[in-house]
């Protein structure tokens, strides 16, 4: 077998040489005392880039979202989110376990959006029987909807609606820089109306670990306490933050390349007998393909491709997912397509 082409996720990316060097040289201190200069710099840089007052370095996207939810909401409150959102689907129901909140899901459309009517309808009124709505969560780009991006206008409309009811909005921005790149907008503009954002450093941005939660200073102070409660108070974590700084200042600039490769891959998959790709959903670095026409399940595709050195993930009975990133270049994508075509034609 030649080299492995790993398209399971952009989470598989390893730190770059520049990151490893910065990690080696990082100035560190005890971050629970607020004394790690590199962590402080990462938090300030993330807040500045996102146009928010303050930031908090957390271990993962899951922790960033969980802290976001429990810092905004009190027990018994309801959190509105997409039925296919990562928070609902893949985060172990942490908000319910730790924060005692309920998840109220709203069905997204094919491109990962809700209508304002859906949000209006989901936000609870004053009736004595109802739970209180504590938060609306958005996801941009939207993972299970194929990495689709939500526009500035759509984001603003939802925020305006939520805010009119005094309900804050949290963004799962695991891949918010991918969304901003696709939209050709400054990420700060994209999240301007949002109260808190969780952004991942360890997806397409290549850092080995971590996310930053950003928002108002007072919110981040309470979030810091919640991070400590969850066991996420790290010590000399500047070694990790050093890589994250390179993610924010360098790696965000190259995401268009991953999007180009995803498009190339999607166009190629469309030519493979039995696979269907909705090109309209291929906006960033994720490609979903429907395997129904091939007569093979997603798991069967995953297993056959693995044998030939191409790694992908299954996202449903007949849905396979490919995620492009900086470790697989254009020739890697072409090689993967050759392997996939071979499997489809029984070779
Ligand atoms: N997503 C992972 C898996 O968990 C599915 C992936 O391979 O895509 N929000 C979004 C939108 C995400 O895609 C992810 C990770 C997270 C949050 C969680 O981030 P981590 O893995 O750092 O906890």
CA of 2 to the centre of ligand 1 (A): 29
**237-281 pLDDT per residue, tens:** 999 999 999 999 999 999 999 999 999 999 999 999 999 999 999
Does 285 contact ligand 1 (Cβ within 6 A)? no
Query: Among 287, 294, 292, 293, which Cα is nearest to 310's?
Result: 287
Give Cβ neighbours of residue 175 (< 8 Å, ≥ 6 apart): 10, 140, 141, 143, 147, 200, 203, 204, 284, 285
At 104, list the tokens. Answer: 């109220």
User: Which of 7, 62, 89, 319 for mutating ligand 1's site (highest number of atoms within 8 Å of CB)?
Assistant: 62
Kindly indicate the confidence band of residue 3, based on its pLDDT and cuts at 50, 70 and 90. Answer: confident
**91 has pLDDT over 70:** yes
Taking Cα atoms as reference points, which of 96, 95, 117 lies closest to residue 106? 117
- Centre of ligand 1 from the C-alpha of residue 86, in Å: 7
Ligand 1 atom closest to the Cα of residue 10 is 7
Buried b (16+ CB within 10 A) or exposed e, 236-272: bbbbbbbbbbbbbeebbeebebbbebbbbbbebbeeb
pLDDT 10s digits, 310-323 = 999 999 999 999 99
In this prediction, residues 116-136 reach a mean pLDDT of 97
Which of 65, 86, 323 for mutating ligand 1's site (highest number of atoms within 8 Å of CB)? 86
Does 152 score more than 80 pLDDT? yes
Q: Evaluate: CB of 173 within 6 angstroms of ligand 1.
A: no
Are 236 and 111 members of one domain?
A: yes
Q: What is the mean pLDDT of residues 326-338?
A: 98
Q: What is the DSSP string of 249-305?
A: HTGGGGHHHHHHHHHHHHHHHHTSTT-B--GGG-SSSEEEEE-GGGT--HHHHHHHH
List % helix, strand, coil for the chain (3-state, nearest 5): 45, 15, 35
Point out the domain boundary residue: 210, 234, 251: 251
> In ligand 1, which atom is closest to the CA atom of 313?
7
For residue 282, the domain's CATH number is 3.90.1150.10
143 and 281 housed in the same domain: no
Domain final position from 251, 285, 306: 251
* DSSP structure string for 48-70: HHHT-SEEEEES-HHHHHHHHHH
Cβ of 198 closer than 6 Å to ligand 1, yes or no, is no
Count of the separate structural domains present in the chain: 2
Band (345; pLDDT cuts 50, 70, 90): confident
Q: Do 196 and 312 fall into the same domain?
A: no
Are 184 and 307 members of one domain? no
Q: Is the CB of 60 under 6 A from ligand 1?
A: yes
CA 57 to each of CA 65, 227, 327: distance values in angstroms, whole numbers, following the listed order: 12, 9, 25
Q: What is the mean pLDDT of the chain?
A: 97
Same domain for 182 and 308: no
* 200 within ligand 1 shell (Cβ under 6 A): yes
Ligand 1 atom nearest the C-alpha of 65 is 17
By most ligand atoms within 8 Å of CB, the mutation choice from 64, 69, 143 for ligand 1 is 143
Q: What percent of the chain has pLDDT over 90?
A: 98
Closest CA to ligand 1's atom 5: 90
Q: Is 11 in the pocket of ligand 1 (CB under 6 A)?
A: yes
pLDDT number for residue 344: 83
Tell me: do 304 and 209 sit in the same domain.
Answer: no
Q: Is the CB of 258 under 6 A from ligand 1?
A: no
What integer is the mean pLDDT of 2-16? 95
Query: Pairing mode, if any, of strands 133-139 and 313-316?
Result: unpaired
61 lines ligand 1 (CB under 6 A): yes
Residue 295 domain boundaries: 5-12+254-344
Q: Are residues 265 and 237 in the same domain?
A: no
Where does a domain end: 210, 233, 251? Answer: 251
pLDDT at 2 over 70: no
Task: Supply the residue whose CA is at minimum distance from atom 21 of ligand 1.
Answer: 61
**Band of residue 346 on the pLDDT scale cut at 50, 70, 90:** confident
Is residue 178 located within the same domain as residue 67? yes
Measured from the Cα of 210, ligand 1's closest atom is 22
* Per-residue pLDDT tens digits for 181-217: 999 999 999 999 999 999 999 999 999 999 999 999 9
Q: Provide, rounded to the nearest whole percent, the portion of the chain with pLDDT above 70.
A: 99
* Residue owning the nearest CA to atom 16 of ligand 1: 61
Which ligand 1 atom is nearest residue 63's CA? 23
pLDDT of amino acid 347: 60
pLDDT at position 1 over 80: no
Q: Are residues 245 and 276 in the same domain?
A: no
CB of 319 closer than 8 Å to CB of 290:
yes
The sign of the CA dihedral 107, 112, 118, 122 is positive
Residue 325 Cβ contacting ligand 1 at under 6 Å? no
């Amino acid at each position: 077998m030649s080299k492995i082409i790993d398209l399971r996720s952009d989470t598989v990316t390893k730190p770059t040489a520049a990151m490893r060097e910065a990690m080696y040289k990082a100035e560190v201190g005890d971050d629970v005392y607020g004394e790690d200069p590199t962590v402080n710099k990462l938090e300030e840089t993330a807040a500045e880039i996102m146009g928010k007052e303050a930031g908090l370095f957390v271990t993962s996207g899951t922790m960033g979202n969980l802290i976001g939810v429990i810092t905004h909401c009190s027990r018994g409150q309801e959190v509105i989110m997409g039925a296919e959102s990562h928070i609902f689907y893949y985060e172990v129901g942490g908000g319910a376990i730790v924060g005692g909140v309920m998840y109220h899901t709203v069905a997204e459309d094919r491109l990962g959006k809700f209508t304002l009517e859906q949000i209006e309808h989901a936000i609870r009124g004053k009736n004595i029987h109802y739970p209180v709505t504590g938060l609306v969560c958005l996801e941009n780009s939207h993972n299970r909807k194929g990495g689709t991006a939500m526009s500035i206008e759509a984001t603003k409309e939802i925020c305006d609606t939520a805010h009119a009811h005094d309900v804050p909005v949290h963004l799962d921005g695991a891949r918010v820089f991918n969304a901003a790149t696709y939209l050709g907008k400054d990420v700060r503009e994209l999240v301007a109306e949002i109260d808190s954002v969780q952004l991942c450093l360890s997806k397409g941005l290549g850092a080995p670990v971590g996310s930053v939660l950003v928002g108002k200073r007072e919110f981040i102070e309470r979030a810091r306490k919640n991070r400590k409660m969850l066991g996420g108070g790290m010590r000399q974590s500047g070694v990790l933050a050093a890589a994250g700084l390179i993610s924010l200042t360098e790696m965000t600039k190259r995401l268009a390349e991953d999007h180009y490769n995803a498009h190339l891959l999607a166009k190629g998959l469309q030519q493979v007998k039995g696979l269907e790709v909705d090109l309209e959903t291929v906006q960033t670095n994720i490609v979903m393909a429907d395997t129904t026409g091939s007569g093979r399940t997603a798991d069967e595709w995953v297993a056959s491709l693995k044998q030939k050195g191409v790694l992908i993930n299954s996202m449903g009975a007949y849905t396979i997912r490919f995620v492009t990133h900086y470790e697989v270049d254009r020739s890697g994508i072409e090689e993967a397509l050759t392997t996939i075509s071979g499997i489809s034609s029984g070779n």
